[in-house]
Structure 1
Amino acid sequence: MDISVYRPGELTAADRAVWSALQSKARLNGYPELANPFLSPEFTLAVGRTRRDVRIAVLHEDGEPAGFFPYQRTSTGVGRAVGLGLSDCQGMVHRPGFICDTQELLRACDLAIWEFDHLVKGQAPFEAGASGTFPSPVMDLDQGYDVYIRRLRTTSPVFTRRTMTKERKLGRDAAQVHYVHDERDPAVLRTLLGWKSAQYRRTGRSDRFAHDWINQLVHQLFHTRSESFAGILSVLYAEGRPIAAHFGLRTERVLSCWFPAYDPAFGKYSPGLILFLRMAEAAAADGIAYLDLGRGQKGFKDSLKTRELFVSEGWVTRRHPVAIGHRAHRAPVRALRNTVLSRPELFGPADRLLKRMGKIRSGG
C-alpha cells in the first residue's frame, strides 16, 4: 500500500473523479453509507478553503487509488475527522473489500491520534477504536413519497395527523403558502442562519455561526453544485416571506439534513415539521433514496424516521504521548455528555437549565 498526502488544492482532477465514482457506485459495491454528502470530495475541499489544517491521504493499491482519507491535523499531530462537530458522517471512501493498516496510515499522515464522532458503518480499520455506537435516523423514500406517508401513518399516526392538520390550518390562515425545494436566493440563506443563531442562543447552546469559518463554509457549499453534489436550501413560504427553511447537502441518492430553523412567529403551525414533509415529497420526486436526519435525540426525528443507521465515536491512536494526553482530556467530556444525553432524568433538567441561561443571555 502506497500513501500520498495532499493539501486540498493539490488533489488532482483525476483523483477527485475516482473519489466521486466510488461514491456513485457505493450502493452497488455494498457500501451504501459511503454515498453520504459529508464523505464527498466537495465537502472536504470546501472545509479546506475555510481552514488551513485539512489534508487528504490517497491510498494506492496496485498503482491505482483505492481509498481517500480526509482529516484535519493540529501542529502537535492531533487528527480529527473533517468538520468534526459539524459533519454527520465520517470515514474513508474506499474500493470494495479494501482494508488498510491504521498504524501505517497514521504514520504516513503524521498523526498521533485520529478522532471521530460520526464514523460510518463498514470502516473496519477504525471500528476497533470506537467507544460508542449511536443511531442516526433516516426517512426512506426509495419507494416514493406515498409509500413513506402510508408507513408514517402506521408508525406515527398522531404525529402525522397533527402535522397535516396544522398544515391545513396554515393554508387557511395565511396567504400564498408555497414550498421551494432548491431556493437559490442568498438572502434567504442569511435569514435561515439568523434564525438558527437565535435558536442556539435561546436554547443556551453554543452559536455555531459565531465562528467565521462555519459561516464561510455554509455559503461556499450553498454555491457548490456538480452532477453528484449540491448544497440545497429548502424553504416554506407564507404571506410572501420565508417561515421555515433548511440547508442540507445532497449526493445522487442521499440528502443529509443539517441546519433547519423557522420563524417563531409561526410556531403554532409547526412549520418546521411541515417543511420536512414537503422536503421528503420533493426529494422522492428528485430520485433521493433517503433523508439522513443525523445522530441526536430529537423527538421529531423519532416521529419522521423509518429506520436507523448507526455511527460511532472514538479514536485510533499510535503509541505516542500526544495521543495519551488527548484521550485523557477528551474521554471524560465525551462520557459525561453521552451519559446526560442517554438518561432522561439527567437530560431534562440539563436542557431546562440551558434554556433558562439562554433566555437570560437573550435578554428574555
Structure 2
Amino acid sequence: MRTHVVRPSELGEPELRRWRELRGADPSLSNPFLAPEFTQGVARFRDDVRVGVVEDGAGVAAFFPFERHRGGVGHPVGFGLTDLQGIIADPAFDLPASELLRACGLGVWDFDHLIAAQRVFAPYHQVVRVEPIIDLAAGFPAWEAEARAMAPKTHKTIRYKERKLGREVGELSYDFASAEPDDLRLLMRWKSAQYQRTGRTDRFTRPWIVGLMRHFHETGFGVLSVLRAGGRPVSMHFGLRDGASMAGWFPAYDTEFARYSPGMIGHLRLAEGASGSGLDEIWMGRGGKEFKEWLKSREIPIAEGRVARPSAGAALHWVRHVPLNRLRDKALDNPKFYRQADRVLKGYAKLRGRSA
C-alpha cells in the first residue's frame, strides 16, 4: 500500500466520491463528523489539517483525516470538538498503525472518540466506552413509545413541564432548522455562560470555532433548532447533518426557564423534528449525562488511546498528557467521582466570578 498526504482542499471529486462510497458501505461511518464536509470545514480555519490517502492496487482504500502539530504530534480533526473519530475505510481494512503514522509524518496520534471496531487502532485502546444513539428509522411515534417505556415517570414529567411552559410563558413553537444568524449568536452566548458557570474552558473565545459554526450554519451542514415560548427562545441545539444522520453537538437553554427543563423538552422536539425532516438517527456523543440513557435506542463502542512511534516528540507528549488523561478517565468511569469533580469545577467557577 502507498500513502500520500494532502490538504483537504486538494481532494478532487473522484476522491470525495470514493470517501462517500466508503462511508455508505459501513453504518458506523455515517456520523457527520466523519463526512468530508467536516474535515474541509475545519481546514478553512486551521492550517494544520491533512488527509492521508491510502492506495492499493485497486485504487483508494482509505482516508485518514488528522491534524499535525509541532514535534510530529497528531490529533483527529477538530480534536476536542468531535464525538466520533476514525479512518474512512472498509471494516476489513487493516494496516499497521505505526506504518500509517510514519507515512503521515506523525510520531504520535491521540484519539478519544474512536470507532472501537476499527482494526487499525485496536491494539492501542486504553479505555472503551459507548456512544448512545437515538434511532428514528421507525419514525418518531415508535421511538417515543420506547423512550416512554424505558422511563415512564421521566417522560410524563417532561411532557407536563412542556404544557406548563406553554401555559405560563406563552405558546410553544419549534423551528427545526433556523437560518437566523441572531439565533446562532444567542446560542453561543448561552453556551459561553454555561462554560463559565461550570468552570469549563469557553470554546467560543476561540475565533476559529466561532467561524466554523457560522460556516456550517450558512452552508446547511449545521442545523440550528430553536424552541420558543411566547416567541422567545428558551432552548436551542446546534447539530451536524449529513444524509439521514445527525451528530448532536451544542445544546443550550435560557437558565431563566430552568424550572421547566427546557433542554429536555428541546431534546424531545429535536427527535420529532429530525424524524419529520428525513433523519434516521441522532448520535448523542459520549458523556456523563443521565438523560442520554433514557433517550438512547442503541449504542456503539468507542475507544480512547494513543499510537506512538519511538521519537522525542512522542516521549514529551506522554509526559505532558498521559498522566492527566488517566486521572480524567477515573472520573468518567466512577459516577461518584464524576459528580464530585463537577462540583469542584462549579465551585471554582463561582470563586473566579467573585474575584473578577
Measured against the shorter chain, the TM-score band is over 0.9
Task: Mark the CA change 1:97 to 1:343 in structure 2 (over 3 Å): closer, same or farther.
Answer: closer
Q: For residue 161 of structure 2, what is the aligned residue in structure 1?
A: 166
Q: Secondary structure at the match of 2:252?
A: strand
Task: Kindly provide the CA deviation profile for residues 297-322 of structure 1, in whole angstroms up to 9, marking residues without a partner as x.
Answer: 11221221222222101111212232
User: Is 1:123 equivalent to 2:114 in the alignment?
Assistant: no
CA–CA distance in structure 2, aligned partners of residues 67 and 262 of structure 1: 40
Which amino acid in the other structure matches residue 118 of structure 2?
A: Q
Q: For residue 356 of structure 1, what is the aligned residue in structure 2?
A: 347
Which amino acid in the other structure matches residue 359 of structure 1?
A: K
Q: For residue 285 of structure 2, what is the aligned residue in structure 1?
A: 294
How many residue pairs match? The answer is: 355
Which amino acid in the other structure matches residue 282 of structure 2?
A: L
Q: For residue 193 of structure 1, what is the aligned residue in structure 2?
A: 188
Asked if 1 retains the 8 angstrom alpha-carbon contact of 2:174 and 2:226, the reply is yes
Asked if 2 retains the 8 angstrom alpha-carbon contact of 1:255 and 1:292, the reply is yes
Q: Which moved more, 1:35-44 or 1:96-105?
A: 96-105
CA–CA distance in structure 1, aligned partners of residues 98 and 131 of structure 2: 29
Q: For residue 267 of structure 1, what is the aligned residue in structure 2?
A: 258
Q: For residue 37 of structure 2, what is the aligned residue in structure 1?
A: 42
CA–CA distance in structure 2, aligned partners of residues 348 and 362 of structure 1: 21
Q: Which moved more, 1:299-308 or 1:265-274?
A: 299-308
User: Is 1:104 equivalent to 2:99 in the alignment?
Assistant: yes
Asked if 1 retains the 8 angstrom alpha-carbon contact of 2:92 and 2:119, the reply is no
Shift of 1:362: 3.4
Indicate the percent of aligned positions where both proteins have the same amino acid.
Answer: 43
Asked if 2 retains the 8 angstrom alpha-carbon contact of 1:136 and 1:294, the reply is yes
CA–CA distance in structure 1, aligned partners of residues 230 and 147 of structure 2: 29
CA–CA distance in structure 2, aligned partners of residues 333 and 32 of structure 1: 33
CA–CA distance in structure 1, aligned partners of residues 95 and 274 of structure 2: 35
User: Is 1:149 equivalent to 2:134 in the alignment?
Assistant: no
Q: Secondary structure at the match of 1:76?
A: helix
Task: Kindly provide the CA deviation profile for residues 45-101 of structure 1, in whole angstroms up to 9, marking residues without a partner as x.
Answer: 111111111100111122511111000011210111111111001011113522223
Give the root-mean-square deviation of aligned CA atoms: 1.5
Q: For residue 315 of structure 1, what is the aligned residue in structure 2?
A: 306
Asked if 1 retains the 8 angstrom alpha-carbon contact of 2:93 and 2:119, the reply is no
Which amino acid in the other structure matches residue 273 of structure 2?
A: A
Any unmatched runs of 5+ in structure 2?
Answer: none
Q: For residue 285 of structure 1, what is the aligned residue in structure 2?
A: 276
Shift of 1:2: 1.6
Q: For residue 80 of structure 1, what is the aligned residue in structure 2?
A: 75
Asked if 1 retains the 8 angstrom alpha-carbon contact of 2:174 and 2:228, the reply is yes
Q: Secondary structure at the match of 1:99?
A: coil
Alignment TM-score, normalising by the size of structure 1: 0.94
Asked if 2 retains the 8 angstrom alpha-carbon contact of 1:33 and 1:121, the reply is no
Alignment TM-score, normalising by the size of structure 2: 0.96
User: Is 1:4 equivalent to 2:17 in the alignment?
Assistant: no
Q: Secondary structure at the match of 1:125?
A: coil
Shift of 1:352: 1.3
Task: Kindly provide the CA deviation profile for residues 29-48 of structure 1, in whole angstroms up to 9, marking residues without a partner as x.
Answer: xx211011001111001111
Which amino acid in the other structure matches residue 351 of structure 2?
A: I
Which amino acid in the other structure matches residue 336 of structure 2?
A: E
CA–CA distance in structure 1, aligned partners of residues 331 and 242 of structure 2: 34
User: Is 1:180 equivalent to 2:180 in the alignment?
Assistant: no
Shift of 1:213: 1.4
Q: Which moved more, 1:317-326 or 1:48-57?
A: 317-326
Asked if 1 retains the 8 angstrom alpha-carbon contact of 2:134 and 2:295, the reply is yes
Q: Secondary structure at the match of 1:154?
A: helix
Shift of 1:292: 0.8
